[in-house]
A and B are shown apart, each in its own frame.
Chain A
């Protein structure tokens, strides 16, 4: 059995199903907490923790079967969801991010389901003239793995920054509409706007160099594979990079922050997600 065939035949572990149930239950519990059932919140965070652990066990279990978490884009989606959940848990230790959880948990769940249950598809046709030398985008070279790993971590960090930006925009809107007791700010009080803005900015500082390195390695990898650069995901990846680069530069020089920065963060992240989805669709 080739490594490619092996990946297609590795089924989800029992821990995967635990993670799925925990993600769904955590989403429901966080919704209750957001609706005013404050006492449910600790249990909801407990479920998030359980989902994170079970998800991690599933990734490790696949590792024992020689499936690298960044082996392919499909596999990397699972890793991305895990990073997202871990980041949310970490941020929740400092702030009440009930609304953020209601957004992040379903996203993690969908990413995990996409990573494990979507049809893996067959080997896509290679470029014309590549013949037997061509490998599908599941590449087992060190360069491919490092590229996908870094890109996944970078996008994961951007995803966290984007979640915080989305919460920022929701809270900003509530404050402007004078809805101090609305869902965004909530009875438990959301995270302060200034802190959300600051944390999102710091995350972009962390994610940007990782993502930049991933892009460079990706370019090298692509040139080694002899692929043409006219695929749509390449300019989209560049849009992501430019959006976050602009954010860092403009904040440094002109003090861009607040709503504008949050919207640009979401735009950059949307481009990154589009790249991932295009890869995924191509594999199906």
Chain B
């Protein structure tokens, strides 16, 4: 177990290092931030002073080493634009994205699992066909369009839900959260649903195929031969087996949901990390881009680790430790 975690940690460090090199090269190749950051009217002296202050006068490899040195001390640099530590900028916006992504995943499971179960148990019923057709719509409709339609119906025409911002927030652990207030929840409702729609479709299809695969297995027939009630067979025997693929896929999707909630955040003006990274890329604010990507990579690695660990809870066959 310890060896496993250590190995994972080393892998994580390797991945983060490789990623920083790529981002440094990538941002360098895209353009020179100086052109965007310094006003065209500035004279030569001012320009050079600014360039030196930002550390952009050094060759790229030196810049990289300086960055690495600072990073080891927990300093990922200051934003060229806001002149604030990059990490702080990201942390301020992270709770918004996190609660949106987690909420969307939770909603996807809450809606997708029961519908998928139903569709799997009654594959030929009229309701199941409707659910399956709906699930195709769910993951083929573009997110931004769904978002706009939601705004049009629920915000503009019915006036039930607010269409922008996070609403009232509560501060816990120095971070602001919307999901703990009613007003915040109302603000979350539409972006969360729009982000979860494609995941609902995914969960439905995963669950349905899992149910259909498992219901014909011998262990189900044996459970029936034991005289168990249909409810126990479905919710204890089959459900545990279905959860394994669902948890894996949804866990991996969670990283993607966090990283790519950009579109939803833009549509609903949700002040999350996605919006920050888009703005930073526009002005080539390298420290923010690098810090953001490092954080996302770390998050992916942590999520994958959690998925692996939960997998071993769900599936005794892949338990890592040997007990005796």
Q: Do A and B bind each other?
A: no
Q: Which residues of A are interface residues toward B (Cβ below 8 A)?
A: none
